């Protein structure tokens, strides 16, 4: 994640999240750690991190080097959506 370029992120049925350069339309990073379809993803505005959810029942927080920093697995069922709140670490 960089602050100087506009990026898009997308989740997929191939269990990955892709980071795209908006101007060149090219994939600039792939996040791989989920074991089932990725159902949602967002960029947290304060943490400059990516948060993803999956049908593998987990929520993952990804760091700047596209490595998973934290995995939340509380025995939840599928997680369908995630979001970040401006001005907080929530």
CATH of the domain at 30: 2.40.10
The pLDDT of residue 84? 73
Residue 84: inside a domain: no
Write out the residue range of the structural domain in which residue 62 sits: 7-72
Residue 88: inside a domain: no
- Of residues 65 and 17, more confidence is placed in 17
Number of structural domains found in the chain: 1
Residue 80: inside a domain: no
Residue 53: inside a domain: yes
Beta pairing class for 16-21 and 38-44: unpaired
Residue 55: inside a domain: yes
Residue 31: inside a domain: yes
**H or E element: which one contains 18?**
strand 16-21
**pLDDT of residue 13 exceeding 90:** yes
Confidence of residue 89 (pLDDT cuts 50, 70, 90): low
Residue 82: inside a domain: no
Stated pTM of the model: 0.82
Residue 27: inside a domain: yes
């Amino acid at each position: 994640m960089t602050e100087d370029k506009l990026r898009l992120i997308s989740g997929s049925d191939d269990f990955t999240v892709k980071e795209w350069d908006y101007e060149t339309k090219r994939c600039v990073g792939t996040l791989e750690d989920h074991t089932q379809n990725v159902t949602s993803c967002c960029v947290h505005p304060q943490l400059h991190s990516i948060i993803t959810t999956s049908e593998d029942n987990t929520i993952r927080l990804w760091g700047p080097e596209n490595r998973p920093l934290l995995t939340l697995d509380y025995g939840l069922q599928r997680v369908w959506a995630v979001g970040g709140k401006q001005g907080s670490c929530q």
